[in-house]
Amino acid sequence: LGSAHASRHGAQTHPHLFFHPELLQQVEYRRRLEDDLRLAVEQRELKLFFQPIVDLHTGLLAGAEALLRWQHSERGAVSPEVFIPLAERIGLIGEIGRQVLDDACRQVAHWRRDGLEIYVSVNVSASQIPEELPPESILETLNSYGLPSHAIALEITEGVLMSNVSVAQNWIAQLRAAGLRIYLDDFGTGYSSLSYLKRFPMDTVKVDKSFIMDMNDDHTLVDAIITMTGSLGLNVVAEGVEEAAQLDLLRAMGCGYGQGYLFSRPVAAADFVATAKRINTEMGRHTASP
């Protein structure tokens, strides 16, 4: 004990081994967050919220994106921007991803039985592909809830495509062959978006919300993306639509789908049907006549 103490004491005089108290606190905070996340996953405390995706031509609800929420008993809501990367680092993303797919399938099956003919899109991290989320197991899960393959879409980012080209191509090809739709998320934020669209056959691109937020100043980029994806035969979802002026511009540009706080924030499953009804009456009424 004496020597351990001595060396620790000695370390403090060595510039490379000096620890700031805040840094130690951060390390401790991170370690506790990891333990809490493990427990939350084990006890199935992570909950899916659902955010409407609206068909801008009809004004009607088309689908919903499943977004994970973690309500921590002491810390309050922890953002997925924090706990998803953490889950990836500590090897929890596989289990989380299986829970998410299972919950999303159960929920959309329930809504479709009640006559709400929508799909749910599920976010997939690069580290889930392919071992943690093989195409066969996705199809099995869909099957177990009696779902058609078009009831689930999978959202991937460029990170998925960059990690291993042939693995990603195979994974996408198998799922598309089975009828699932693949969405390219956060489009425009990466490095080689354009070339990816040629190399990886996809169904839909989701224009990143940063571009939609800039639209009041300059909408040439969004306009170009919509034109280009249209000529490639791809659908477009505009993410982060917050203002009516953005919606008007997007419609004028021929953007197919929109998602954002203007329509609805992500809501708990229990509140989704009421949200869907509101959108289908309100937005449907505001649709420009053809």
Q: Which does 67 bind (CB under 5 to 8 A by kind): Mg ion, ligand C2E, none?
A: ligand C2E
Which part of the chain contacts ligand C2E (CB under 6 A), choosing from 20-28, 80-88, 145-153, 218-226? 80-88
Q: Are the C-beta atoms of 183 and 158 separated by less than 8 Å?
A: no
Query: What single letter denotes the amino acid at residue 236?
Result: V
240 alpha-carbon distance from chain centroid: 13
C-beta of 38 vs 210, nearer to Mg ion: 210
Residue pair 139/97 in contact (Cβ under 8 Å)? The answer is: no
State the minimum distance, in angstroms, from the CB of residue 16 to ligand C2E.
35
Spatial contact of 286 and 262, defined as CB atoms under 8 Å apart: no
Residue among 240, 256, 272, 276 that touches ligand C2E (CB under 6 A): 240
Q: Which of 118, 55, 65, 51 is nearest to 286 (CA)?
A: 55
Binding mask 113-132 for Mg ion (x = CB under 5 A): ----------x---------
Q: Of 141, 182, 260, 283, which lies in the binding site for ligand C2E, with binding defined by CB under 6 A?
A: 260
How far is the C-alpha of 262 from the C-alpha of 86, rounded, in Å?
30
| Strands 119-123 vs 257-258: parallel, antiparallel or unpaired | unpaired
CA distance linking residue 98 with residue 197, whole number of Å: 27
Residue choice 53, 62, 100, 236 for contact with ligand C2E (CB under 6 A): 100
- Choose the stretch contacting ligand C2E; rule: CB under 6 A; options: 21-29, 141-149, 174-182, 239-247: 239-247
Question: Which amino acid, one-letter code, is at 48?
Answer: L
Interacting stretch for Mg ion, rule CB under 5 A, among 112-120, 237-245, 251-259, 274-282?
Answer: 237-245
Binding characters for ligand C2E, 147-186, by CB under 6 A (x = yes):
--------x-----------------------------xx
User: CA-CA distance, 95 to 86, in Å (whole number)?
Assistant: 13
Q: Which of 247, 251, 192, 172 is nearest to 216 (CA)?
A: 247
Question: Which CB sits closer to Mg ion, 123 or 125?
Answer: 123
| Closest separation in Å from C-beta 241 to ligand C2E | 6
Rounded to the nearest whole angstrom, what is the least distance from the CB of residue 30 to ligand C2E in the complex?
18
CA–CA gap between residue 104 and residue 171 (Å, rounded): 20
Angle at 55 between CA 49 and CA 59, to 5 degrees: 105
Is residue 76 within the footprint of ligand C2E (CB under 6 A)? no
CA 17 from chain centre, in angstroms, equals: 39
Contact stretch for Mg ion (CB under 5 A) within 24-32, 112-120, 163-171, 184-192: 184-192
Determine, following the binding rule CB under 5 A, whether residue 186 of this chain makes contact with Mg ion: yes
In the chain the first and final C-alpha atoms are separated, in Å, by: 81
Interface residues toward ligand C2E, by CB under 6 A? 51, 67-68, 79-81, 84, 100, 123-125, 155, 185-186, 209, 239-242, 259-261, 266
Interface residues toward Mg ion, by CB under 5 A? 123, 155, 185-186, 239
